Structure 1
Amino acid sequence: MGRYLLTRVWHSALTLVLASVVVFAAARALPGDPALAVAGEEADAETLAAVRADLGLDQPLWVQYARFARGLLSGDLGTSVRTGTPVTELIATTLPVTLWLATYAVAVAVVVGLALGVLAAVRRGTWVDQAVGGVSLLGLSVPSFWVGLLAILYLAVGLGWFPASGYVSPAEDPLRALHHLTLPALILGATTAAVVTRQTRASTLQQLGADHVRTARAKGAPRSAVLLRFALRNSLVVVVTLVGLQLGGLVSGAVVTERIFGLPGFGKLTLDAVFSRDYPVIQAVVLVVTVAYILINLVVDVLYTVLDPRIRVAGGTR
């Protein structure tokens, strides 16, 4: 097991190094001139040259990357070209907003997806199964930005059930924070809930037809115990994989939701950086998302060994 985890950590570190190279190159491939964004459209050639020298853009790319890599190793992500604020401060301010939103959205998606998926599997072939399938297909098909706008129009403005925009820190007021994040979390987690529902249904049906489940039923085990202890537990391996992948995607994909609901999160920071060609911020946000994916995948690998002993045995023999 230990050797397996060390191998995974080594692969993750190599992935992070390759990602830093790709991010560095991709940021500089964006159209536009950061010096022009800083100095203004009316700046002359001398001013632009001075700004490029100040930002280090006049140096060879390998020198720029070496400086960028040294900063990563020392925890220095640079300074925002647009605001002059250290990038670490910007991330420390905006990332918690997105993490709270993504965690809330995943929690809603898992609870709703597991409940609907198991219900559809137990009621296979009935109108309940068809209704759950229709709802999940709707969640996968309808664009989140459109649903978000409708939710603001009817649930926030029309009925007044939720705030239309704004953010409150959970440290300041947990209940108000929950109230402000509920509607964005529902919108953001709708697609994930639909995916979890469909995969849970398919995996549960497969487990209900397995030999050990039929044996447990033949021995007179209660239906609820068979469903929860055998079928659902084995189905959780698939669900954990989906949730791990979806959580990383929600952190990076919350841009639209945060924009619609006016949340000062990671998505807004990313858009502002792209529009202003803010290289240090662009590089930092992409690397943060990459690290998030890597860490989530490591956690998922560990959870596999908890949910399925066969995986633990295989991992221990590597």
Structure 2
Amino acid sequence: MIRYLSTRLWQSAVTLILASVVIFIGIRQLPGDPAIAMAGEEATPEQLDAVRAQLGLDLPLPVQYFSFLARMLQGDLGRSTRTGTPVTELIATTLPVTLWLAAYAIVLAVVAGVLLGVISERFRGRWPEWVSNAVALVGLSVPSFWLGLLAILYLAVNLGWFPASGYVDVGRDPVRGLYYLTLPAIILGTALAAVILRQTRASMIETMNTDYVRTANAKGLGAGRVLFRYGLRNSLIVVVTIVGLQLGGLISGAVVTERIFALPGFGKLTLDAVFTRDYPVIQAVVLIITVSYIVINLAVDILYSVINPKIRVGGN
């Protein structure tokens, strides 16, 4: 395990360095000039040159990259060209909002997807399976922004079950904070729940037809014990894989949901940075998303051996 972790950490470090190169060069190919965005359209050429010198944009690209890399390794992600605020402060303010939203959405999606997937497998050919398939079809086919608008109109405005917008810090007031995040989390996790439902159903059908499950049934074990101990546990590997792949996507894909529900999260920060050509913020946002994918994939590989002892990382 230790050797495997060492190898994966080394590979992750190389991946992060290569990703930083791609991010650094790609962002600088975006149309527009951050100096103009910072100094204004009416700025003189001398003022623009002064801003570029202040931001280091007048230096050759290799020099700019290594300067950026050295600061990043020290935990300094620069300052926003739009507000002058340190990027680390902006991220520390907005990232927890998105993390709470993504974590809540995953919990709801896993619970709903696994439950409906098991029900769909147990009642094949009957109305519970048809209802589950209909729910999965809606979750996969209807855009999240449309679901969000409908949810605000009917569940928030007409029925008053949830607030239409706003955010309460979950750390300070967990109950009220989660209440405000419930509707956005449902919308964000709908598509993930549909995928988990379909994959859980397919995996459960395959698992319940294996020889060891038939042997367990022949020994007289209870149907519930066979279902959850032998069927569901082995099917959870598929769920873990899906969640691992989608968690980073939820963090980066929460832009639309946060915009609809006016949440002050990572998505709003990203959009504001893109619109104003705020290079330091854009670089930091993409790097954090990259790191999240690397860490999540490593955690998923390790979790495989916890769920199914037959799987051993590192080939041992």
Counterpart of 1:83 in structure 2 is: 83
- In structure 2, the partner of 1:107 is 107
Counterpart amino acid of 2:301? D
Contact 1:77 1:88 in 2 (8 A): yes
8 Å contact kept, 1:2–1:316 = no
Aligned residues: 316
Q: Distance in 1 between matches of 2:190 and 2:310?
A: 32
Q: Which amino acid aligns with 1:112?
A: A
- Is 1:235 the counterpart of 2:226? The answer is no
Q: Does structure 2 conserve the Cα–Cα contact (< 8 Å) formed by 1:137 and 1:194?
A: yes
In structure 1, what is the equivalent of residue 97 of structure 2?
97
* 1:172 CA drift (Å): 2.1
Aligned to 2:262: 262
Amino acid at match of 2:305: T
Task: Give the letter aligned to residue 205 of structure 2.
Answer: L
Instruction: Tell me the equivalent position of 1:124.
Output: 124
CA distance in 1, matches of 2:235, 2:172: 38
Shift of 1:161: 1.0
| Residue 297 (str. 1) matches residue 297 (str. 2) | yes
| Structure-2 residue corresponding to 1:154 | 154
Using the alignment, how far apart are the partners of 1:144 and 1:221 within structure 2? 43
Runs of 4+ displaced beyond 4 Å: none
Instruction: Name the structure 2 match of 1:310.
Output: 310
- 1:67 shift after superposition: 0.6
TM-score by length of 1: 0.98
Residue in structure 2 matched with residue 249 of structure 1 by the alignment: 249
State, as a whole percentage, how many aligned pairs show the same letter: 68
Amino acid at match of 1:99: L
> CA offsets, 1:175-220, max 9 Å, x none?
1101100000000000000000000000011100010000000111
What secondary structure is seen at the aligned counterpart in 1 of 2:311? helix
In structure 1, how many angstroms separate the alpha carbons of the residues matched to 2:214 and 2:299?
A: 32
**Structure 1 unaligned spans of 5+:** none
How does 1:173-188 map onto structure 2 within 5 Å?
173-188=173-188
2:160, 2:268 → 1: CA distance? 25
Q: Name the residue aligned to 2:197.
A: 197
Contact residue 213 and residue 231 of structure 1 kept, 8 A: yes
2:24 equivalent in structure 1: 24
Name the Cα RMSD after superposition. 0.9
Amino acid at match of 1:233: R
SS for the counterpart of 1:5 is: helix
1:219 aligns to what? 219
- Paired residue type of 1:166: G
Whole-angstrom CA distance in 2 between matches of 1:72 and 1:310: 40
Distance across 2 between alignment mates of 1:7 and 1:217 = 42
Q: Distance in 1 between matches of 2:117 and 2:91?
A: 36
Equivalent AA in structure 2 for residue 274 of structure 1 = V
Please list every run of 5 or more consecutive structure 2 residues that lacks an aligned counterpart in the other structure. none
**Distance in 1 between the 2:268 and 2:65 partners?**
26
What CA distance in whole angstroms lies between the structure 2 residues aligned with 1:191 and 1:50?
Answer: 48
CA distance in 1, matches of 2:261, 2:24: 31
Matches within 5 A, 1:268-287: 268-287=268-287
Q: Distance in 2 between the 1:64 and 1:216 partners?
A: 64
What TM-score do you get using the length of structure 2 for normalisation?
0.98
Could you give the per-residue CA deviations for residues 79-126 of structure 1, whole angstroms, max 9, x where no partner exists?
000000000000000000000000000000000000000110111122
